[in-house]
Amino acid sequence: MAKKDTSPNGLNILGRAWNELKRINWHEINRLCQQNLHIGLIGSERDVAAMKKWLSSFPGQASSDQSPMQVKCNTRLLTRYITSIYIGNLNEKLDEKLIKSTTFCIVSPEYVNQVRRFKTEVYIFDNSGNKHLPTQVLAAHNDLRFALAYHFAVFRREHATIVIQDTAFQNTAWAVITSVPNTVPGPHQMVSIPFEGISDFIILSLNEMKMLFELVGLSGYTVVPYRQLPEIGILTGMALLAQSTATSIIGKLPARAGMVAKGALAYAFTYAIGEAIFTSISYRQKVNGCFFRDSIREHYAEGVKVVNNMINQRTEGFHEHP
């Protein structure tokens, strides 16, 4: 009777990857994106009109020739999620019931104190660019991030950055953890090294696949996996490139340096893939090798800092708890 091959090289990588892929709940992403919410816009008619325009704007949407880019944002449907409350003067009585029915309010500066008598979740719209307003709103409403980005274009760039950074951190942590056994030479490396390569490809790629679905959803689209086949192909190719690059570099470096390089590459490649996906979906721009190269170079140094911080924190914790 033939002995069953249980070595890492005998594993069905594609089968394992597919089984893990099925665990990604894209229906949950769609549910998060399509949550109900109501934003109260409070001010003069002119102020409220400016707020509506701002909610539909897309930061950085100018192309190389400075022409405006179109992003998915149905302004007609936005009225379902906006409650407009017009105020003619400071002495005008506010509709307390209507204000309390909103999820949060965006308010002209002169009416903030009045509105806060009925609602604590109030954000000031001051017509000076409101650069930090998306960050403030998303930070305070973590459970509504996907819905806010799905319905209102102004939140997409900020939420995309959050999703990409979270995935980059996850992949970096995994890359560092799986490389620990191979920092100590020994017979165990005959098993740990090939298994490390297989597990890295599966876990890192699946994290990036989840990131892909999240970026599709927050860009205003319903997540349907078969529609993302081109992006999935690019993602898989980049994941394989990252794995081969890491393998070729790490083998030439000392133990700790190899661990740092592997983690930094995981961070940089994940960030580059995320930016490429978001650019493709939201800006409708094709990305090329130069885009990936520049993005990887930009984020590799940041990845080195992230890995060193992880290792140092781990070392400090070990010394504190011998």
Q: What is the mean pLDDT of residues 78-83?
A: 87
Claim to verify: residue 223 and residue 259 sit in the same structural domain: yes
The secondary structure of 159-190 as a DSSP string is HHHHHHHHHHHHHHHHHHHHHGGGGS-STTHH
- Indicate the pLDDT class of residue 27, thresholds 50, 70 and 90: very high
Same domain flag for 207 and 123 = no
Torsion over CA: 178, 182, 188, 194 (sign): positive
Q: What is the mean pLDDT of the chain?
A: 79
High-pLDDT (> 90) share of the chain, %: 42
Identify whether residues 303 and 165 lie together within a single domain: yes
Last residue of one domain, picked from the residues 132, 154, 176: 154
The pLDDT of residue 230 is 77
What is the distance, to the nearest Å, from the Cα of residue 274 to the centroid of all Cα atoms in its chain? 7
Express each pLDDT in 111-153 by its tens digit. Answer: 999 999 999 999 999 877 788 999 999 999 999 999 999 999 9
How far apart CA 298 and CA 269 sit, in angstroms, is 10
Whose tokens are 């954000």? That residue is 123
d(CA 262, CA 179): 8
Write the DSSP symbol of residue 61. -
pLDDT in tens, 200-216: 555 677 888 899 999 99
Mean pLDDT (whole number) for 92-119: 94
Q: Is residue 7 part of a domain?
A: no
Together in a domain, 195 and 219? yes
Contact 197, 262 (CB under 8 A): no
pLDDT confidence band for 71 (50 / 70 / 90)? low
Q: Is residue 264 part of a domain?
A: yes
- What span, in angstroms and rounded, lies between the C-alpha atoms of 33 and 265? 31
Q: 275 and 176 in one domain? A: yes
Helices 133-140 & 156-179 angle (0-180, nearest 10): 60
Q: How many domains does the chain have?
A: 2
Q: Could you tell me if 246 and 193 are in contact, meaning their C-beta atoms sit under 8 angstroms apart? A: no
DSSP class per residue in 299-314? HHHHHHHHHHHHHHHH
**pLDDT tops 50 at residue 4:** no
Say if residue 170 is in the same domain as residue 144.
no
Q: Do residues 188 and 141 share a domain?
A: no
| Residue ending a domain, choose from 154, 170, 193 | 154
Q: What is the pLDDT of residue 21?
A: 62
Q: Determine, yes or no, domain membership for 181.
A: yes
Question: Contacts by 8-16 with C-beta closer than 8 Å and gap 24+?
Answer: 8/191, 8/194, 8/195, 8/198, 9/194, 11/198, 13/198, 13/201, 13/202, 16/202
Please tell me whether residues 307 and 163 are part of one structural domain.
yes
Q: pLDDT at position 228, please?
A: 81
Q: Contact 103/39 with Cβ under 8 angstroms?
A: yes
The structure's pTM equals 0.81
Tokens representing residue 49 in the block? 């009109």
Q: Are 270 and 204 in contact (CB under 8 A)?
A: yes
Bridge partners of 82, per DSSP, are 39
Residue 190 domain flag: yes
Same domain, residue pair 167 and 299: yes
Q: Is residue 256 part of a domain?
A: yes
For residue 77, pLDDT over 90 is answered with: no
Q: Is residue 4 part of a domain?
A: no
The pLDDT of residue 256 is: 66
Is residue 84 located within the same domain as residue 108? yes
Same domain, yes or no: 161 and 252 = yes
Residues 254 and 163 in one domain: yes
Question: Between the CA of residue 241 and those of 26, 136, 180, what are the distances in Å?
Answer: 26, 37, 22
| End-of-domain residue from the set 154, 175, 202 | 154
**1 part of a folded domain:** no
Let me know if residue 246 belongs to a domain: yes
What gap in Å lies between CA 161 and CA 322, rounded to an integer? 38
Domain with 129 in it? 36-154
The per-residue pLDDT for range 218-276, each reduced to its tens digit, is 999 999 988 887 777 777 777 777 767 766 666 555 656 777 888 888 899 899 999 98
